[in-house]
Amino acid sequence: MAGNGVASIGECMLELSGQTGPNWRMGFAGDTFNTLWALHALSGDRPATYVSAFGDDPFSHNQIGFFAENGIGIGSSPLIAGARPGLYAITLTGAERSFTYWRGDAAARQLASDPSALSKNLENQALVYFSGITLAILEDSARNTLLAAVAGARAAGSLIAFDPNYRPRLWRNREDAQAAIVEALAVTDIALPTFPDEQMLFGDETARATAKRLGQWVGEIIVKNGEQPALICENGMQHDMPAIHVAAPVDTTGAGDSFNGGYLAARLAGHGPREAARRAHRIAAAVVQVRGALAPFETLRAAFDG
């Protein structure tokens, strides 16, 4: 029987954001963590676990401390001697973000190094979330371990949610990314792709084409498309859900991840896909108005409740 918890699997980095002159603000972020952050803010009664691997340096300690202060645990995730977190910096052109990474030897790459710890982390979860970035940072055999653990959680009754989140630079080639993402979709209940990513990776011409392709494997699909409407597909029914126009966005980092967190929180709370998408759009609109990927819990809660 699946339990009450929510777990997200991946890499949380050190984040440099909000550059003003030579000064940067350091925080913690990473796509799957950003989603868990919003999901946890909006479903605080559910135990939240960030499933990854961590180092033993001061930055890893601070990172785990930051999670704990905000009510997010790390379960049985490995702590690896001598390892440390990855780092990324946000550069803004207007509000549009681009990222520079230092992450090649991050501890998180070893998140599947202990298969039994990984499976244990996925026990008693109402929902397990992961992304294409989670897949991309793993060696082939570790990726197979991850997908087997996710399939095990699904067989035990957890709902599995997946965002293909394509980062070309993290993959050896396009074919590897396509194959791994299709394998992940085969164990997914709710897919949350972004149209421009799917267009880049699979050549889809429209969001509807993306939904049709993913419909081979997944019953519930939400195709995000920035400021364009999101396309919701559930059991063959399709709806366009308009996004919210933000007059003065400051930083688009984490908007899609936070949308996912809002959508999943709403679905877990019993809302249908359309109401979940409405709330998720409000969450994304709130997140583009703060610097960095994470908005304060109160901001997220106010947006969720409308």
Ligand X SMILES: O=C(O)C(=O)C[C@H](O)[C@H](O)CO
Q: Name the residue nearer to ligand X (CB basis): 124 or 254.
A: 254
Is there binding between residue 133 and ligand X (CB under 6 A)?
yes
Is there binding between residue 164 and ligand X (CB under 6 A)?
no
Single-letter residue type at 214: L
**Which listed range, 66-74, 108-116, 223-231, 253-261, lies at the site for ligand X (CB under 6 A)?**
253-261
Which residue, chain included where needed, has tokens 């304060």? Answer: 296
Q: Name the residue nearer to ligand X (CB basis): 97 or 126.
A: 97
d(CA 5, CA 211): 28
Q: Candidates 31, 197, 198, 204: give the one binding ligand X (CB under 6 A).
A: 31
**Which listed range, 26-34, 61-69, 76-84, 113-121, lies at the site for ligand X (CB under 6 A)?**
26-34
Is there binding between residue 198 and ligand X (CB under 6 A)?
no
Which residue, chain included where needed, has tokens 């984490």? Answer: 254
HSE (side-chain half, CA atoms, 13 Å) at 250? 12
Any residues with CB less than 8 A from the CB of 202 and at least 6 apart, and which?
Answer: 178, 210, 213
d(CA 199, CA 223): 11
Is there binding between residue 132 and ligand X (CB under 6 A)?
no
45 is catalytic: no
d(CA 80, CA 109): 11
Is there binding between residue 274 and ligand X (CB under 6 A)?
no
DSSP 3-state of 82 = coil
Closest CA to 266 of 254, 257, 278: 278
Q: 140, 204, 257, 305: which one is catalytic?
A: 257
Is there binding between residue 230 and ligand X (CB under 6 A)?
no
User: Nearest approach, Cβ of 4 to ligand X (angstroms)?
Assistant: 27
Is there binding between residue 120 and ligand X (CB under 6 A)?
no
Chain positions contacting ligand X, by CB under 6 A? 29-31, 34, 88, 99, 133, 167, 253-254, 256-257, 293
